[in-house]
Amino acid sequence: MPANFKAELVACFGQPVAENPTGVMQEAAFSALGLNWRYLTVEVPPAKLRDAVAGARAFGLRGFNCTIPHKVAVMEHLDEIAPDAAVIGAVNTVRREGERLIGENTDGKGFLRGVRVDAGVDPKGRRAVVLGAGGASRAIVTELALAGAAEVLVVNRSRERGERMVADLAAKTGAPIRFEQWQGTYRVPGDVDLLVNATSIGLYPDVDAMPPIDLSAARPGMLVSDAVFNPPETRLLAAARGHGLPVLDGLSMLVYQGVIGFQLWTGQDPPVAVMKEALRKVLLAEGNPQEPIENRLQVTNLPHPDERLAGAG
C-alpha cells in the first residue's frame, strides 16, 4: 500500500490566539491515537473571517474552532447550525459533513460532561446559580436548562444584558430561568445545589481577583464550579474549599469541550487522560508546581468584570 503523506487539518480561528492552549491537547490526542492530523492556531481578524471560512472549505479542513471574537459572526458563513447552538446563539466548533460546514457549540456540553463525569452530579431537578451573562454563561445556562434543572438563576451586574439573555433563553427552552441583578456582595442562598462562575474574574493575569460572593449560607454539598481554567486553582475555588464545599475547576470544561470536538471531527474517542496531562504541562510550564491534574480535575471536598472567557471552547 503506498504511503500517505497527507495530513488532515483542523484549526482555531480567533484574535488573539497566541495564548490559546487548545491545540496542545488536540495534537497530543492525535499523536496518542496515531492519527496524521494537525491542529492549526490561526490569527484571524474580524474583517478576514469570511475569507478564513472560504479557505477552510478550499483546504478541505475537517473542522475548526472559533473563539473570541468570531463565535457569533461565523454563523452566517456556515451551511447549518445545530439546534442547541442556535438556542445559544453562538458557535465554537465547526464540523464538515461532505461539502457542508455545520456549526456546533461544545462549551455548555463540555461543562455539563465535567459536572456529570468528574463531579458525579446530575443537574436534573437541581437548583443552579450562574454568575455572569456573557457567552460562557449563555452556553452553560442553555445546557443546564436542557438537562432538566429545576431552576437556573442568572446573576449579573448589568440588568439589561442579564434580563435580555434570560428572557431569550427561557422563551427558547421553556425552562424556569430567572434573573437577579448583582449588587454588592451576592449571598448564595441555602437552597442552591450548583454555583457556577461564568465570568472571567480570576482569569490570568488577574489571578488574585474573586467574584464578590458570600458562601456562608451555602448548604453542605453545594458544588462550586469555575469556568476559569488558568489558573486551575482560583481564589473562588479556594474559598469554597475553605467552607468544606466540593469544587470543579475550569480545566474540566476546557478538556471536555475539546473531547467533544475531537469526536465530531474524527469520529473517534480521544484519550482524555492524555489531553488533561498535555494541558497540565502547558499550564505548569512557568515552573509553578501544583498538585497532579488528575486530582485537580476531580471534585475535591477539603476541610465587574469582562464577561468573556479565553479559549477555543
Point out the residues that are catalytic: 71
What does each C-alpha distance from 286 to 16, 87, 230, 283 come to in angstroms? 21, 39, 12, 7
CB-CB contact of 222 with 192 (8 Å): yes
Q: How many CB atoms lie within 10 A of CB 83?
A: 9
Place of cell 474517542: 269
CB-CB contact of 310 with 254 (8 Å): no
Kindly state the cell numbers that stand for 267.
Answer: 469520529
